[in-house]
């Protein structure tokens, strides 16, 4: 039996100016994705991706639909070229929406409108500057959790992205995150890096955003999934549309359990991963998690051709 294959979809932070242009120029199926997204949003998201500035792309309500659209454009190009279909899908935070489009649970139009609103809700949930996120490198998860607990002092501070054994991102009130960073430095963390983000994602400060998003998601039709999705919030496979919707709601204020999600996929026999969408952030994390799985990516014609060759 050939090794099982997972498509994984990137989240915020993978964006770059000019992303998706090569796909739209070379694959009609990809171009159609950008046209559908432009129509769904009522403005030229395609132009933002192809020729917008890095600053424009960094605004959360732009970033989220832009990354989703480029990821789905890459996916449609792969499908049009007859690349092997995945046995599982997963996505990092925002990327879970791309994965749900790939699995046939959500339409692109519904997904792109929802993530634009999601970006706005998350931005508005905490006043600018009141929250923070920091990457903690080279510390044990238990030590990070202890430091976050000590640093809270009535505020919010908790793990937000559990990415790999050596990389955990924390989020919460800015002062509490600073306290946690100091504690972790004192206790031997290799590095603590304050992240340039517009809001403290995946922590309790996002509850107002979660409530607003829940109401939007309730209005959408979720189909049963054609391919099992490993959700961020449970790190388990799911094919039920209603459960996928519930996972998206809980995901807003809960940590992204990426390390456990990848470990689950490896246990299920996945030895090939294709990162579908802009950048190679997830491929880098995969290398930190395992040396036994192979990582490929598709974000333009060149990478698509290389991945096609590798999969055949």
Catalytic residues: 93, 202
Q: How are beta strands 88-91 and 167-173 bridged, if at all?
A: unpaired
CA torsion 16-21-27-28 (nearest 10°) is 120
CA torsion 222-226-228-232 (nearest 10°) is -30
Q: How are beta strands 294-298 and 270-276 bridged, if at all?
A: parallel
Residue 309 C-alpha from the chain's centroid: 26
Helix axes 241-251, 207-218, angle to 10 degrees: 160
List the beta bridge partners of residue 169: 135, 161
CA torsion 302-305-308-312 (nearest 10°) is -130
Q: Which of 303-306's residues contact partners 24+ apart within 8 Å by CB, and which partners?
A: 304/74, 304/77, 304/78, 304/81, 304/83
List the beta bridge partners of residue 135: 169, 193
d(CA 57, CA 122): 16
């Amino acid at each position: 039996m050939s090794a099982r294959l997972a498509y994984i979809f990137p989240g915020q932070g993978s964006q770059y100016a000019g992303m998706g242009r090569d796909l739209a120029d070379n694959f009609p199926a990809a171009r159609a994705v950008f046209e559908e997204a432009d129509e769904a949003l009522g403005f030229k998201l395609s132009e933002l991706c192809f020729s917008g500035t890095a600053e424009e792309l960094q605004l959360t309500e732009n970033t989220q639909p832009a990354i989703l659209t480029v990821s789905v454009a890459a996916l449609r190009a792969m499908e049009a070229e007859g690349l092997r279909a995945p046995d599982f899908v997963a996505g990092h935070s925002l990327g879970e929406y791309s994965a749900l489009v790939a699995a046939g649970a959500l339409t692109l139009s519904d997904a792109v409108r929802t993530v634009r609103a999601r970006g706005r809700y998350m931005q508005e949930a905490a006043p600018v500057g009141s929250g923070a996120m920091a990457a903690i490198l080279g510390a044990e998860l238990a030590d990070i959790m202890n430091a976050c607990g000590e640093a809270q002092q009535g505020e919010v501070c908790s793990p937000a992205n559990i990415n790999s054994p050596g990389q955990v991102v924390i989020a919460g009130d800015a002062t509490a995150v600073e306290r946690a960073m100091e504690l972790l430095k004192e206790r031997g963390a290799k590095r603590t890096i304050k992240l340039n983000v517009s809001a403290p994602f995946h922590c309790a400060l996002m509850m107002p955003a979660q409530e607003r998003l829940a109401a939007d998601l309730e209005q959408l039709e979720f189909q049963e999934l054609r391919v099992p999705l490993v959700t961020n919030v449970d790190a388990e496979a799911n094919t039920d549309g209603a459960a996928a919707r519930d996972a998206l709601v809980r995901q807003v204020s809960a940590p992204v359990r990426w390390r456990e999600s990848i470990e689950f996929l490896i246990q299920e026999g996945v030895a090939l991963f294709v990162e579908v969408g802009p950048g190679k952030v997830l491929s880098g994390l995969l290398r930190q998690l395992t040396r036994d799985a192979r990582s490929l990516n598709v974000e333009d014609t060149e990478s698509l051709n290389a991945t096609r060759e590798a999969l055949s």
